[in-house]
Chain A
Amino acid sequence: MKKFLAILLVLVMMLSFVACGGDDAETDGDAAALKVGFIYIGPINDGGFTQAMYEGAVASKEHFAGQMDFIYRENVPEDTQEVKSTALNMIDEGCNVIIACSFGFGDAMNELSAEYPDITFLHFSGAMKNDTNFDNWFGSMEQARYLTGMAAASVTESNILGYVAAHPYTEVQIGINAFTLGAQAVNPDVEVKVVYINTWGDAELEKTGAEQLLDAGADVITYHADSTAAQLAAAERDAWAIGWNYTKNDAGEKYLTAAYWNPEVYFNYALQNILDGTFKPESYYGTMKDGLIAIDEVNEAVPEEVRNQIADIKEQMEAGEFDVFTGPIYYKDGTVLCEEGQTLDRAGIWSITNEIEGVSAI
């Protein structure tokens, strides 16, 4: 009797599996032409990077009005096996485009793009791509950083600007250097103090780092890290704060501006190409011109003259006529980054390995 019951139970369970499978297949009936799977490193309401990426996906879905649908998974660690299984699940669920929104997701995309030629893989940051279905995308954040640097230098009284930075790594250093160049353009006496917290996100460390900078005399704080904790630290001490990644104001009236992403610009562009069958990997690099990179409205405390200057340079950037890295620029150890009369192109910018003169960092 017991044996019979066991067999019966097993049969029931198997049947229920089959039944579930059937349900899934039926719901695929009215699917959109594009189903995109987004892989996020953080939670979609983090007030920073992942939220920017998520809202971009929502805006893009609206833009394509029925032709595009998306699913997402948040809090995915930068672990290649985990990323791969996440992407495979998405492919199982009918996704034909995977957009992986973190540097560490690259290897998984690279491996899967070879195995699944019919699926398109779009990887944020990095340099990996192939000739058919795998591309990377990023943006010229240096432009927005430059403009925020101008705003910062115009309101500082101590001439010390604080910068809470994640890792001493090219992407971060590009931002620091561009910010410094912008600041120096407005106020040559300004010093940018940097604290590296050696993580992309830890609100406690971000806040502590900002506090050390404030103790050292900084009266404007910006950051390259995931949360808005540095803004909180600035607000507590009545110092200015500049946002990053997303336009979240956690500093109240002392919110100066923010350098942020408009990812839907890229999503719309790449997905349209995929729809039209004209997609071709190109190492997409968005700019102020196409709007992937943007700067939030500048606080009115910034003198009108500087605000006009910012607007002016922004226009030049949008027209593609302004190079952030224009020589002479020296690294802080005195070696030359960019000769007089020269400018750095994208490859040049991405081979930056140190902070420039005017920055004090370890």
Chain B
Amino acid sequence: MEVFLASCVVAGVPLLFATVGELITQKAGNTNLGVEGMMLMGAVMAYVASVGTMNPYLTVLSAVLAGAAGALIYGVLTISLRANQIVTGLTLTIFGTGFAKFVGQPYLGKAVPAEVTQFFVKRPLPLLSEIPFVGPIFFRQDIFVYLSYILCILVAVYMYKTRIGVNLKAVGENTAAADASGINVTLYKYVHVLLGGAFSGLGGAYLSIVRIPLWQEDVVNGRGWIAVALVIFVAWNPIKAFFGAILFGGLSIMGMRLQVMGVGISQYLFDMIPYLATIIIVVFSTHKKRKESQPPADLSNNYFREER
């Protein structure tokens, strides 16, 4: 059981990065459907950096920058040029997919160098890993996984406990009012859209560097979309996102687990559940109008000050 839950955590980590990233993007009032594309950009650029520099830090940095670069395209188009957010996001996904294929082509068959893979081997944390049950599941992982825990907690503190976090909420809920109260709306949107992209890039890099250190074009394989669903599923809450990501990650390996145990339930069935669950959540939360599980009120609306 513990072994399985530890695998669920591993399967959930790329989702967690992407979900938290999309969550802060949406908190700033922008829906970025380019998560899949930004993850792929992060995945491929991390790969290029790892082969080129053999340095784990530069590998991670490269993923962050690549994801943010993808988000910058989206940001310029939607925040400055006020293009439709949904269309721009979809385009970014298609662009990122092509970008990863194009850039990654020469790297097929080249492995991530040992200097980098060795850095990301499983390192049990002293003391914490000895806690019964919890230890083996959460604290016998690699550094990248620990990074996801830390970022998740930081984002939660940032969103709920800092002044900037409150301002961010204001931007997403009522952009015009935030603008009127003196918040630099454009800056807030840019910062959080870029941050979101950087997180997505990290999620992609976890897949291409740690999970499968062999380049393959479709490495992200739809996880970007699951992350978009997860944001709704966890009601824009980074702490819930942590558990939601592990849950959805677990579902993605459930079918195979059961196969080994001799139970023949198709993996395809489990692959549907995240989306089904999200639809049900959307229906419920819309119906019950619970305040805390509603999307930011100004989500997907581009802001024109002149229209105020």
Tell whether A pairs with B.
yes
Partner of A204, one of B4, B221, B259: B221
Stretch among A6-14, A172-180, A191-199 lining the B interface: A191-199
Q: A43: CB under 8 A from chain B?
A: yes
Residues of B within 8 A of A227 (CB): 214, 216
Q: A45: CB under 8 A from chain B?
A: yes
- Bound form: Cα–Cα A88–B131 in Å: 64
With A202-B221, A215-B4 known as contacts, the answer to whether A195 contacts B211 (CB < 8 A) is no
Once the chains bind, are B111 and A216 in contact (CB under 8 Å)?
no
- Bound form: Cα–Cα A7–B184 in Å: 54
- Bound form: Cα–Cα A45–B218 in Å: 16
Once the chains bind, are A208 and B11 in contact (CB under 8 Å)?
yes
Partner of B109, one of A45, A197, A232, A361: A45
With A47-B109, A202-B221 known as contacts, the answer to whether A212 contacts B259 (CB < 8 A) is yes
The size of the chain A interface, using a CB distance under 8 A, is 31
Once the chains bind, are B214 and A228 in contact (CB under 8 Å)?
yes
Q: B187: CB under 8 A from chain A?
A: no
Partner of B213, one of A46, A212, A232: A232
Once the chains bind, are B108 and A212 in contact (CB under 8 Å)?
no
Partner of B263, one of A46, A213, A228, A362: A362
- Bound form: Cα–Cα A228–B257 in Å: 20
- Bound form: Cα–Cα A195–B256 in Å: 6
B94-127 interface with A by 8 A CB criterion: 105, 108-111
Once the chains bind, are B260 and A47 in contact (CB under 8 Å)?
no
Residues of B within 8 A of A213 (CB): 260
Q: Which residue of B lies closest to A231 (CB)?
A: B214
B183-219 interface with A by 8 A CB criterion: 207, 211-214, 216, 218-219
Type the 1/0 row for A188-222, where 1 means its CB is closer than 8 Å to any CB of B. Answer: 00000111111000111101110111011000000
- Bound form: Cα–Cα A193–B11 in Å: 22
Q: Which residue of B lies closest to A194 (CB)?
A: B259
Q: B253: CB under 8 A from chain A?
A: yes
- Bound form: Cα–Cα A195–B266 in Å: 12
Q: B81: CB under 8 A from chain A?
A: no
Q: A108: CB under 8 A from chain B?
A: no
Distance in angstroms from B39 CB to nearest chain A CB is 13
With A203-B219, A204-B219, A212-B253 known as contacts, the answer to whether A47 contacts B259 (CB < 8 A) is no
With A46-B109, A204-B219, A362-B263 known as contacts, the answer to whether A232 contacts B214 (CB < 8 A) is yes
- Bound form: Cα–Cα A195–B257 in Å: 9
Residues of B within 8 A of A360 (CB): 262
A323-362 interface with B by 8 A CB criterion: 360-362
- Bound form: Cα–Cα A212–B267 in Å: 13
A239-255 interface with B by 8 A CB criterion: 250
Residues of A within 8 A of B52 (CB): none
Once the chains bind, are A229 and B214 in contact (CB under 8 Å)?
yes
Distance in angstroms from A232 CB to nearest chain B CB is 7
- Bound form: Cα–Cα A51–B110 in Å: 13
Once the chains bind, are B109 and A212 in contact (CB under 8 Å)?
no
- Bound form: Cα–Cα A45–B207 in Å: 20
With A250-B111, A360-B262, A362-B263 known as contacts, the answer to whether A204 contacts B212 (CB < 8 A) is yes
- Bound form: Cα–Cα A229–B257 in Å: 17
Once the chains bind, are B212 and A215 in contact (CB under 8 Å)?
no
A108-132 interface with B by 8 A CB criterion: none
- Bound form: Cα–Cα A203–B104 in Å: 15
Q: Which residue of B lies closest to A196 (CB)?
A: B259
Partner of B262, one of A51, A232, A362: A362
Residues of B within 8 A of A198 (CB): 267-268
Distance in angstroms from A171 CB to nearest chain B CB is 19
With A47-B214, A229-B214 known as contacts, the answer to whether A197 contacts B256 (CB < 8 A) is yes
With A204-B219, A207-B212, A229-B214 known as contacts, the answer to whether A215 contacts B267 (CB < 8 A) is no
Distance in angstroms from A164 CB to nearest chain B CB is 9
Distance in angstroms from B272 CB to nearest chain A CB is 14
A residues with CB within 8 A of B? 43, 45-47, 51, 193-198, 202-205, 207-209, 211-213, 215-216, 227-229, 232, 250, 360-362
Task: A204-B212, A232-B212 are known; give 8 further A-B pairs, CB within 8 A.
Answer: A47-B214, A198-B267, A204-B219, A205-B256, A208-B256, A211-B7, A212-B259, A215-B3
Sorted nearest first, the 4 A-B pairs with minimum C-beta distance are A45-B109, A362-B264, A43-B108, A203-B212
A-B pairs with beta carbons under 8 Å apart, 9 shown: A46-B109, A198-B267, A203-B212, A204-B211, A207-B211, A208-B253, A209-B256, A213-B260, A227-B216
